[in-house]
Amino acid sequence: MADIDALTQLIEPEVQALGLRLVRVKMFGGTSDPTLQVMAERPDTRQLVIEDCAELSRRISDVLDATDPIEEAYRLEVSSPGIDRPLTRLEDYADWAGFDARLRLVEVVEGRKQVDGRLNGVEDNAVIITTVKTRDTLHIPFSAIGSGKLLLTDALIKATTPLSTDGADVISVER
């Protein structure tokens, strides 16, 4: 598989050149249908319209064609993070305080490998979350989080209007 850190180093300057913020670079699909997913957003709206996706896709394609960092054939997917977005940076957990999220942990924390709850912000490189079921407030070290994402709720939909509940704008290109 491709080196995600190296790909991020190639892709991030193209994202920034368009005034966008990189959310995630991820390879998935295995050997049968590999896809390079690039999620970005406008810092002011946290959205990405189809024109943004198309322009960013062209820029990334040009860089990847010139450097050829991925040996096998793959699909390039450029998209917005959508409403139930992944939380990839510590600042995301602070930005989305007050909303519900699911955290999948890389190590057991307080007897848990997954936590669903209300985000309360961050403190000392830890995400503060109040669990749904027990109402326990946990401090989860950011380094212990394998993945996090917002959960689709009425409050999130209301707060992110005019984002569509149909999902993110996506441009996908066979490479």
- List pLDDT tens digits, range 120-164: 999 999 999 999 888 999 999 999 999 999 999 999 988 877 654
Question: What pLDDT, on the 0 to 100 scale, is given for residue 166?
Answer: 46
pLDDT tens-digit map of 49-97: 899 999 999 999 999 999 888 888 899 999 999 888 999 999 999 999 9
Residue pair 100/69 in contact by the 8 Å Cβ criterion: no
Alpha helix positions (H), the chain? 4-17, 50-67, 90-95, 154-160
pTM greater than 0.75 (yes/no): yes
- Given pLDDT bands bounded at 50, 70 and 90, which one contains residue 8? very high
DSSP code string of 5-46: HHHHHHHHHHHHHTT-EEEEEEEESTTTS-EEEEEEE-TTTS
CA gap 3, 116 in Å, rounded? 30
Q: What are phi and psi of 93, to 5 degrees?
A: -70, -30
